[in-house]
C-alpha cells in the first residue's frame, strides 16, 4: 500500500472513485428511495468491483427539491436516508472493506428551509440575517440583474417585502454571501464535523460558484446567446461553456476559501482530500483549484465533453496533463455522473454506444491520476426516457425540458422484474426502471462471459497492477488518424475510434474492451498491451 504520509502517494492520486447517488443505489426499508443502510449492505459489490473509494451524494436534512443539493441542516442525516449512526456505521464498514468515503459538501447555497434563510425572511431588509445571502432591491420591478438560473428562468426570486434573493439554481436554493465571515466559519465547522466522524474527503459542489463579482453587474450576453449561468445546456443534461462573460463564476476570491479548507483537512490528517466540481472555461483555470495549498483534485469534464474522435481525446489528454503538471496535482477523468446523459447513450446507445463506452472507459483507466465512475456504468446502463409524470428534476420543473432524471434511475441488482432487488419486496422505486434491465442486473452479469460488469472487474484488477508504478508520463503514438494510442510506463493503450480494424502494436494483450481477432483491433474498441 502507498504511504499516506508521502504527498506523492496520497491514496486519491491514483484512485478509482465510485459515485453513489444515494436515492438510487439501494433501498433498505422499502420506501422506494435509496438510503444509507442500503449503501452499507451493498458495499461488498464495490469491494468486489475493485474501486478504492466511494463518493456519496448529499444525504443531509433536506426538503429534496434538488434531491439533497438543497441542504437544510449540514450536520444531520435526512430521515429519508437514515440517521447519523447509520452514517457512522457506513463509514466504519467501508473502512473495514478497505474503501475510503468521500461525502458531498454544498457550500454555494443552502435550502430555503435552512434556519439561516428562514431567519433572513423573518428579519427583513437590512438585517444581519439577510446579509448571509444575496438579497437586493430593484427599482423597476424587474430582477436586480439579467442572470439566469442554471435550471432555467431568472436567477432571482422576489419575497413579500419586495426584496429579491439570488439563486443560481432553483428558487429553493438561495446563494450564500461568501463575503460575510459567518459563512466561511460555518463551513469550516461542517468540514470538522464530518472529519471527526471519520470521512476521508469531500466532493465540493459548485466549487467555482461561491463568489460572485461584488457589483452583481449584468452578464454581457452576445447576440445568439441566452443569458444563463452557463452550466447546463438547452437539453439540461450537458454543459455549455460558450458564454465567455461569467461574473457569477470562478472569481479569484474563491481560492482563499480553499486555502483555509486545506488547513482544516491537514489538521485532520495527511490523507484527507477534497475534489472540486468546477465547470471552468479552461484547463488552466481548473488547475488553479488544485494548487498545492488548495483542493486536491478537480473533475475533468473536458474528458466527458470530448467528441468520439482520436483527435479530441488526444487533445484533452495533452491539455489536462499540461495544466496539472505545473501545480503537481493528479489529473482526473470522468465519463458520467448524475448531471449528464449516461455515456453509453451519448455515444449513440445500443451496441455501438456500449462498445464505445467500454472503450472510452478502458482508455481512461490507463491514464495517470484518478477515474471517477458513476453507479450503473459498470452495468452498461443507458439513459432512461423517464415519463413526464415521473420526472422530478427541478430543471425539468422550471423549464418543461427533459433533464437529468434519466441518469438517476435506481440500480438493478437482481431478479427479473422491477424493482430488481433495489429494495425489499416488490415496492416500486421513486422512478420506474425499464423492463429491458432484467438482463443487466448485477446478478445477471456476475460470472457472465463478456458482460460489462465482468469487464469492469477485470479492468480494475489489471489496473491495480500498474496504477502506482507506471508513472505520470504519457507518450502519444501515431497509429493513424482514427486511433488514439499512447504508452504509459510498461502499458500501451490503443483506442480505435474508426470503423475499420487496425493492427495492434507489439506486446502481450492484457485486456480489450471487446472481441479482438488475430491482433487486429476492431473499431470502437480499446486494448491494453504490455
Ligand atoms: C451540482 C450538482 C447538481 C446540483 C447542483 C446544485 O452541479 O452536481 O446535481 O443540482 O450542483 O447544487
Please identify which residue in the block is written with the cell numbers 478497505.
98
Q: Is the pLDDT of residue 346 over 50?
A: yes
Other residues' Cβ atoms within 10 Å of the Cβ of residue 486: 21
Q: Alpha helix (H) ranges present in 127-243?
A: 182-196
Answer yes or no: is pLDDT of 209 > 70. yes
Pocket test of ligand 1: the residue of 169, 173, 232 to mutate, having most ligand atoms within 8 Å of its CB, is 169
The pLDDT tens digits of the residues spanning 459-501 come to 999 999 999 999 999 999 999 999 999 999 999 999 999 999 9
Question: Across the strands, what pairs with 164?
Answer: 136, 158
Residue 240 scores a pLDDT above 90: no
Alpha-carbon distance of 384 to 96, in angstroms, equals: 35
pLDDT score for 244: 79
Atom of ligand 1 nearest to the CA of 151: 10
* Annotated catalytic residue within 3, 115, 182, 267: 267
Distance 390 CA to ligand 1 centre (A): 20
pLDDT for position 233: 41
User: CA 381, CA 401: separation in Å to the nearest integer?
Assistant: 22
Q: How far apart are CA 100 and CA 12, in angstroms?
A: 9
Q: Note whether 503 and 520 are within 8 A (CB).
A: yes
Whether 475 sits among the annotated catalytic residues: the reply is no
> How far does the centroid of ligand 1 lie from the alpha carbon of residue 276, in Å?
12
Ligand 1 centre distance from Cα of residue 11 (Å): 26
Task: Kindly state the average pLDDT of the residues 122-141.
Answer: 97
Separation CA 44–CA 46 (nearest Å):
5
- Tell the residue nearest (CA) to atom 9 of ligand 1: 339
How long is the chain? Answer: 530
Q: Which three cell numbers stand for residue 45?
A: 459489490
Q: For 255-259, 312-316, 396-400, which range has the lowest pLDDT when averaged over its residues?
A: 396-400
pLDDT at site 4: 67
Q: What is the DSSP letter of 422?
A: S
For the segment 61-106, what is each residue's pLDDT rounded down to a tens digit? Answer: 999 999 999 999 999 999 999 999 999 999 999 999 999 999 999 9
Task: Out of 59, 60, 68, 69, give the residue to mutate to test ligand 1, the one with the largest number of ligand atoms within 8 Å of its CB.
Answer: 69
* Protein residue closest via CA to atom 7 of ligand 1: 206
Residue 343 has pLDDT above 50, yes or no: yes
CA-CA-CA-CA torsion sign (41, 102, 70, 434): negative
Q: Best mutation site among 172, 206, 232, 340 for ligand 1, i.e. most ligand atoms within 8 A of its Cβ?
A: 206
* pTM of the complete model: 0.96
Nearest by Cα to 314 from 499, 501, 494, 530: 494
User: What does the alpha-carbon distance between residue 386 and residue 383 come to, in Å, rounded to a whole number?
Assistant: 9
Cβ contact 301:334 at 8 Å: yes
pLDDT above 80 (res 126):
yes
Taking the centre of ligand 1 as the mean of its atom positions, its distance from the CA of residue 84, in whole angstroms, is 23
Q: What is the average pLDDT score of the chain?
A: 94
Q: Whose CA is nearest to atom 4 of ligand 1?
A: 69
Cβ atoms within 10 Å of 389's Cβ, excluding its own: 5
Confidence label for 2 from pLDDT (cuts 50, 70 and 90): low
157 pLDDT exceeds 80? yes
**Residues in Cβ contact with 497 at an 8 Å cutoff, skipping those fewer than 6 apart:** 308, 309, 310, 313, 482, 483, 484, 523, 524
**Cis geometry, peptide bond prior to residue 419 (ω within 30 degrees of 0):** yes
Ligand 1: residue whose CA is nearest its atom 2: 205
Strands 60-61 and 73-77: antiparallel
Alpha-carbon distance 316 to 300, whole Å? 9
Pocket of ligand 1 (CB under 6 A): 66, 69, 106, 169, 205-206, 277, 338-339
Confidence of residue 226 (pLDDT cuts 50, 70, 90): low
Establish whether 31 is a catalytic residue: no
Find out whether 74 and 60 touch, Cβ atoms under 8 Å. Answer: yes
Pick the atom of ligand 1 nearest to 170's CA. 6
The Cα diameter of the chain in Å comes to 75
Q: pLDDT at residue 225 above 50?
A: yes
Q: Which amino acid residue places its CA nearest to atom 5 of ligand 1?
A: 69
Q: Which of 35, 66, 177, 205 is catalytic?
A: 205
Amino acid at each position: 500500500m502507498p504511504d499516506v504520509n508521502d504527498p506523492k502517494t496520497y491514496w486519491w492520486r491514483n484512485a478509482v472513485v465510485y459515485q453513489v447517488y444515494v436515492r438510487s443505489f439501494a433501498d433498505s426499508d422499502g420506501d422506494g428511495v435509496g438510503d444509507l443502510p442500503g449503501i452499507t449492505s451493498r458495499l461488498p459489490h464495490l469491494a468486489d468491483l475493485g474501486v478504492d473509494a466511494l463518493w456519496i451524494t448529499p444525504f443531509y436534512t433536506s426538503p429534496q427539491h434538488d434531491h439533497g443539493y438543497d441542504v437544510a441542516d449540514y450536520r444531520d442525516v435526512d430521515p429519508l436516508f437514515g440517521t447519523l449512526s447509520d452514517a457512522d456505521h457506513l463509514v466504519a464498514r467501508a473502512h473495514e472493506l478497505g474503501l475510503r468515503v468521500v461525502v458531498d459538501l454544498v457550500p454555494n447555497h443552502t435550502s430555503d428551509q435552512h434556519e439561516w434563510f428562514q431567519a433572513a425572511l423573518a428579519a427583513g431588509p437590512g438585517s444581519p440575517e439577510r446579509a448571509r445571502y444575496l438579497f437586493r432591491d430593484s427599482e423597476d420591478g424587474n430582477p436586480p440583474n439579467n442572470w439566469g438560473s442554471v435550471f432555467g428562468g431568472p436567477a432571482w426570486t422576489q419575497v413579500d417585502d419586495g426584496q429579491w434573493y439570488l439563486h443560481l439554481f432553483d428558487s429553493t436554493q438561495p446563494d450564500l454571501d461568501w463575503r460575510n465571515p459567518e459563512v466561511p466559519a460555518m463551513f469550516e465547522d461542517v468540514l470538522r464535523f464530518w472529519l471527526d466522524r471519520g470521512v476521508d474527503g469531500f466532493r465540493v459542489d459548485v466549487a467555482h460558484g461561491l463568489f460572485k463579482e461584488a457589483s452583481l453587474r449584468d452578464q454581457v450576453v452576445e447576440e445568439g446567446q441566452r443569458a444563463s449561468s452557463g452550466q447546463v445546456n438547452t437539453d439540461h443534461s450537458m454543459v455549455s461553456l460558450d458564454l465567455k462573460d461569467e461574473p457569477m463564476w470562478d472569481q479569484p476570491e474563491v481560492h482563499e476559501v480553499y486555502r483555509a479548507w486545506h488547513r482544516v483537512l491537514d489538521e485532520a490528517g495527511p490523507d484527507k482530500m477534497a475534489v472540486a466540481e468546477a465547470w471552468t472555461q479552461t484547463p488552466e483555470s481548473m488547475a488553479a483549484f488544485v494548487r498545492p495549498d488548495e483542493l486536491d483534485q478537480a473533475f475533468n469534464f473536458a474528458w466527458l465533453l470530448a467528441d468520439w474522435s482520436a483527435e479530441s481525446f488526444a487533445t484533452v489528454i495533452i491539455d489536462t496533463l499540461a495544466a496539472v503538471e505545473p501545480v503537481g496535482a493528479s489529473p482526473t477523468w470522468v465519463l458520467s455522473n448524475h448531471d449528464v446523459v449516461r455515456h453509453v447513450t451519448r455515444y449513440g446507445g445500443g451496441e455501438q454506444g456500449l462498445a464505445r463506452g467500454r472503450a472510452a472507459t478502458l482508455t481512461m483507466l490507463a491514464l495517470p491520476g484518478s477515474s471517477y465512475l458513476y453507479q450503473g456504468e459498470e452495468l452498461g446502463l443507458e439513459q432512461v426516457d423517464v415519463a413526464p409524470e415521473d420526472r422530478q428534476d427541478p430543471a425539468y420543473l422550471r423549464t418543461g425540458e427533459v433533464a437529468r432524471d434519466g441518469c438517476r434511475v435506481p440500480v438493478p441488482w437482481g431478479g427479473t422484474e422491477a424493482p430488481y432487488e433495489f429494495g425489499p419486496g416488490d415496492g416500486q422505486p421513486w422512478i420506474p426502471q425499464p423492463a429491458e434491465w432484467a438482463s443487466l442486473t448485477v446478478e445477471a452479469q456476475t460470472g457472465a462471459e463478456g458482460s460489462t460488469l465482468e469487464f469492469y472487474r477485470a479492468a480494475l484488477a489489471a489496473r491495480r497492477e500498474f496504477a502506482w508504478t507506471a508513472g505520470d508520463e504519457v507518450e502519444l503514438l501515431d497509429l493513424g488518424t482514427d486511433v488514439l494510442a499512447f504508452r504509459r510506463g510498461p502499458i500501451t493503450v490503443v483506442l480505435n475510434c474508426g470503423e475499420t480494424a487496425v493492427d495492434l502494436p507489439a506486446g502481450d494483450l492484457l485486456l480489450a474492451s471487446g472481441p479482438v481477432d488475430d491482433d487486429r483491433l476492431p473499431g470502437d474498441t480499446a486494448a491494453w498491451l504490455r
